[in-house]
Structure 1
Amino acid sequence: MELKRITPREAGFWPDLEERLASRFGDLHGLVVLKDGALLFERYGKGEDHSWGVSHGVVTFGPATPHDLRSVTKSVVGLLYGIALADGLVPPPEEPLLAHFPEYPDLAADPARAALKVEHALTMTLGVEWREDLPYTTPENSEIAMELAPDRHRFILERPVVEEPGRTWHYCGGAAAIAARLIVKGAGEPLTEFARKRLFEPLGVGSFEWLAGDDGVHSAASGLRLTPRDLARIGQAVLDGGAGVVPSWWLDRALRPRVEIGEGAAYGYQWWVGTGQPPFAAGYGNGGQRLVVYPDLALVVAITAGRYDAPDAGETPQAVVDELLAARLA
């Protein structure tokens, strides 16, 4: 599906927008900006890419080149959950979580876990011990330990309870894995098939890749690979109230601030929510991956980059976004 193009002046930006964004592009791998559903800016770079630490070598990126999205994957899973909920395939957020995992009767019988609800997985407020502030190269990191576990879902759900569920947000790839497992259980098919039929194909998203662990389970936390254009298409669907694919009522719920994180940020259902001006919804991924939707501006920004595990990986993507917002005509 070819994207209609729009000039900066037509879109309400300074005519030198392209030069301004190019000056901030740095070592990014890809940048696609949509305004009112039309292509406002597109640029690609060259650099080393990886899939979960396995190098693809130096890649010259272009519109058809897929890229690791890392944790932006979680936000896509959040959309899939809403589609599945509309079909009656998954439980609503307010239902008890462990009631839907009868394969773990010992965990369901544990009084300390009785308060767990589906919503706590969707909002990363499970209240269990989880460490992702450590390098993703060590099993001390809980996401890596999850990938190495013989049963990833039991690993997540049996983590020690350290606080009341729903009280505090802690970054947790396991929460996305639990949400995805509920989708797979309800749909009776792999996550990739459900995504292809119910989200990607209806939106005109082309080919995709979804990495799986050694157990064959597709990673809901960080496994999706898409082109920046297709990532932007997903953002445009969010901007368009679901585009008839994702239920609009689900987006109203998913993009609502559910738990405060601080510094003008909150978390919804697997989506980051900016509560300042202009408000936004976003998916963020390791290495500088970004999908940012500005509803009030009819603006979608998709960014791919290769600074995996770098502490300053977000600086260039944020500089690009800041330049874009600064280039709007008053």
Structure 2
Amino acid sequence: MVAMAERVDEVLRAGTAPNFHGLVVMRGGEVVLERYGAGPDHRLGQDLGHVVFDRDTLHDLRSVSKSVVGLLYGIALGEGLVPDPGEGLVRQFTEYPDLVADPERTHLTIEHALTMTLGLEWNEDAPYTSPANSEIAMELAPDRHRYVLERPVVEEAGRRWLYCGGATALLGAVIARGAGRPLAEYAETALFRPLGIGDFGWTKGDDGLESAAAGLRLRPLDLAAVGQLVLDGGRDIVPGQWIKEMLTPRIVIEGEFRYGYQWYVGTGERRQYEGIGNGGQRLLAVPEEDLVVAVTAGEYDQDMVSATTLLDAVLGR
């Protein structure tokens, strides 16, 4: 642990993680390293100015939110609130009878949303400040769920991974509808409170719905606790079988990089599970080392240099 701390502190002294905001490392279920920084920050869509971070400061998780939604789906499934992943996706949205009846869409399943293999037209390559980005267009649409479901079908579902915040928006809606309450309320009672997490935020769109794909805000300490929950097999909070299903590599992204159910899975020499978010938000769990690393940073719409550098220092790479 001393060597790890020395490597991390050298990175911070050298300024090679210039937009670092927070770092928490857990090993064996215990916090072994904590560091915090300062700098400009944003809540989704809102400039927060210069922020001095400490262990009590909430931070945007951006797309690490998706991985938390993956956990929430498993909890709701265990409670009988949501359908099995193999069930039809569009039929969960009966308010769109034209889409439910569309033969091009009847084969779509919830699992296709969980694995981001919907086969629908979607592009998040543009900056997240531009309506050319499909997630931003979704947020600007009068009905986010219809916007996703009516995207043109461009390929067979289940064949290719395509990054899609809209898939997570649909999952968030299925969870909220099954639970009979807003996604954030369900998350609080089903996941956060049992984990001892008392303070969190979930940014909403103009329609009053939580941004399931990118809006969650947690302390780095609490983000690390989520990672530890995964390493612990879900404990009595998330069904253990769901943890196994969620982390099973299901679709190739590139090389040894795979995707499970809203989680990235590294299948190389060292198996690892990750949630990754814009700006350098990272949650890494390495089961063979009983290691969890949570990083927050302010490199929104930039290369994630700070997070990558700090993870390399923690892992000794």
For 2:281, the equivalent position in structure 1 comes to 289
The amino acid across from 1:59 in the alignment is V
For 2:309, the equivalent position in structure 1 comes to 319
How far apart in 1 are the matches of 2:241 and 2:127? 37
The offset of 1:101, in angstroms, is 1.3
The amino acid across from 1:24 in the alignment is V
The offset of 1:115, in angstroms, is 1.1
For 1:18, the equivalent position in structure 2 comes to 5
Question: Could you list the runs of 4 or more consecutive aligned residues of structure 1 that deviate by over 4 angstroms after TM superposition?
Answer: none
For 2:97, the equivalent position in structure 1 comes to 105
Secondary structure at the aligned position of 1:78 is classed as helix
- Structure 1, unmatched stretches of 5+, are 1-7, 9-14
How far apart in 2 are the matches of 1:320 and 1:48? 19
For 1:279, the equivalent position in structure 2 comes to 271
For 1:82, the equivalent position in structure 2 comes to 74
How far apart in 2 are the matches of 1:170 and 1:94? 19
- Asked if 1:142 is matched to 2:134, the reply is yes
The amino acid across from 1:154 in the alignment is R
Do 2:4 and 2:316's aligned partners in 1 also have CA atoms closer than 8 Å? no
| Superposed CA offset, 1:22-75 (max 9, x none) | 222422100000000111110000101101242111111000000010000000
For 2:301, the equivalent position in structure 1 comes to 309
Count residues in correspondence.
312
Secondary structure at the aligned position of 1:16 is classed as helix
Q: Within 5 Å, which residues of 2 pair with 1:235-246?
A: 235-246=227-238
Do 2:88 and 2:106's aligned partners in 1 also have CA atoms closer than 8 Å? yes
The offset of 1:98, in angstroms, is 1.5
- Asked if 1:203 is matched to 2:195, the reply is yes
> Which one of the candidate residues 250, 253, 260 is aligned to 2:245?
253
- Structure 2, unmatched stretches of 5+, are none
The amino acid across from 1:151 in the alignment is D
For 2:39, the equivalent position in structure 1 comes to 47
For 2:88, the equivalent position in structure 1 comes to 96
- Asked if 1:223 is matched to 2:210, the reply is no
The normalised TM-score by structure 1 is 0.93
Overall identity of the aligned pairs, in %: 57
For the aligned residue pairs, the C-alpha RMSD in angstroms reads 1.0
| Superposed CA offset, 1:146-192 (max 9, x none) | 00111100000000000001111000000000011000110000001
Secondary structure at the aligned position of 1:318 is classed as helix
The amino acid across from 2:231 in the alignment is L
How far apart in 2 are the matches of 1:90 and 1:22? 45
Do 2:297 and 2:306's aligned partners in 1 also have CA atoms closer than 8 Å? no
The amino acid across from 2:115 in the alignment is T
Secondary structure at the aligned position of 2:194 is classed as helix
For 2:64, the equivalent position in structure 1 comes to 72
How far apart in 1 are the matches of 2:3 and 2:144? 50
Secondary structure at the aligned position of 1:161 is classed as coil
The offset of 1:277, in angstroms, is 2.0
For 2:108, the equivalent position in structure 1 comes to 116
Secondary structure at the aligned position of 1:99 is classed as helix
The answer to which of 194-203 and 269-278 deviates more is 269-278
The amino acid across from 1:17 in the alignment is M
Do 1:24 and 1:316's aligned partners in 2 also have CA atoms closer than 8 Å? no
